[in-house]
Amino acid sequence: GENVEQHPSTLSVQEGDSAVIKCTYSDSASNYFPWYKQELGKGPQLIIDIRSNVGEKKDQRIAVTLNKTAKHFSLHITETQPEDSAVYFCAARVSWGKLQFGAGTQVVVTP
């Protein structure tokens, strides 16, 4: 089955700096790659997603890049703010619409 690896597990950044989280997937048939932000005690919130026919997508301070050949995709957050502190999960859609999640990255933005 699909295996999604996510790095790093924790990321500390200074406010205003950029944060990058990387994920790799194993199933070349995966065609949808969402990123979720999860705050403590809450459900995941979609922050950006990308489909396999697109290489890059941007939404204000957040961008995602996809390299289908290498089977990896990355989340980029620029100009980080304290409210960006949370756990971020990448995911890949596999057969029958199921999402396989990465292990998560705890992002801490220090003022």
Partner 1 sequence: GAVVSQHPSRVICKSGTSVKIECRSLDFQATTMFWYRQFPKQSLMLMATSNEGSKATYEQGVEKDKFLINHASLTLSTLTVTSAHPEDSSFYICSASDDRGQGYTFGSGTRLTVV
| Distance separating alpha carbons of residues 98 and 111, to the nearest angstrom | 38
Q: If DSSP codes are grouped into helix, strand and coil, which group holds residue 84?
A: helix
- Nearest approach, Cβ of 43 to partner 1 (angstroms)? 4
- 10 Å CB burial of residue 74 (0-12, 13-18, 19+) is middle
Give the DSSP letter of residue 42. Answer: S
Q: Does 99 bind partner 1 (CB under 8 A)?
A: yes
Q: Using CB under 8 A, which of 3, 28, 79, 103 touches partner 1? A: 103
Q: Using CB under 8 A, which of 43, 60, 69, 111 touches partner 1? A: 43
Spatial CA neighbour of 45 closest among 8, 91, 97, 11: 91
Q: Using CB under 8 A, which of 5, 54, 67, 98 touches partner 1? A: 98
Whichever of 28 and 95 has its CB closer to partner 1, that residue is: 95
Residues that bind partner 1 (CB under 8 A): 34, 36, 41-46, 49, 89, 96-99, 101-104
